[in-house]
Each structure stands twice: as structure tokens, then as C-alpha cells.
Amino acid sequence: MKTQHGSNLVLIGIPGRADISDMRSFVSTHGLGHMPHLPDEDGELWRTYGVSYQPRWLLIRSDGTEESGGGAIPASVVTDALTPG
């Protein structure tokens, strides 16, 4: 996603705590096939970022700061992430 200001937002799904076929089923069931996914079969990424359930989101800004939450990503967080500044 690119804004008029040239900011980029890259969404990557990280399905985990299941085998690849279960992860693919989750992606298909929830209509998430339009974005790339990085399977986390051993749960290392989930542990690193404190993910304990789905759906969760984690925003890592270009300055390295992080914000996270459960459920859908609030529009205000996306807007803030895409606002230069």
C-alpha cells in the first residue's frame, strides 16, 4: 500500500502453531490469500513478538517502534503509520 506521500505499508501474515496444511486452510477460510504469509510452524516468531492467539496484529514502524493489538487493525493505527512525520 503506497500513500500520496510515498510511505509504504507492507502486510505480512504469520500463521503459526499449526502445520502448513492447517495454515493454508486458515488463510483460505479467512480470505487472506491476497497478501504474503510467512509460516511459523515452530512458533519462534509468535514467541518473539508475544503473540499468543489469533487474530493479532503487530505494526513495526520504520523507526523501530512497535504497536500491537488483537482483532482487526484499527483504521487510526493504519492512518498514523502512513502519515509522514
Number of domains in the chain: 1
Would you give per-residue pLDDT tens digits along the chain (85 residues)? 444 445 677 888 888 888 889 988 988 998 888 989 988 888 899 899 888 888 888 888 878 888 899 888 899 988 888 887 6
Q: Is residue 76 part of a domain?
A: no
Write out the residue range of the structural domain in which residue 34 sits.
1-50
- Which CATH number characterizes residue 26's domain? 3.40.30.10
For residue 44, the model assigns a pLDDT of 92
Cell of 20: 502448513
- Cell numbers 514467541 correspond to 47
pLDDT of residue 77: 87
Residue 60 lies in a domain: no
| pTM of the entire predicted model | 0.68
> Which of 69, 12, 13 has its CA nearest to residue 77?
69
**Residue 27 exposure: Cα atoms within 13 Å on the Cβ side:** 20
d(CA 19, CA 74): 29
Any bridge partners for residue 8, and if so which? 2
pLDDT value at position 2? 43
For residue 78, tell me if it sits in a domain.
Answer: no
| Cis ω before 15 (30° cut-off from 0) | no
Structural domain contains residue 36: yes
80 inside domain = no
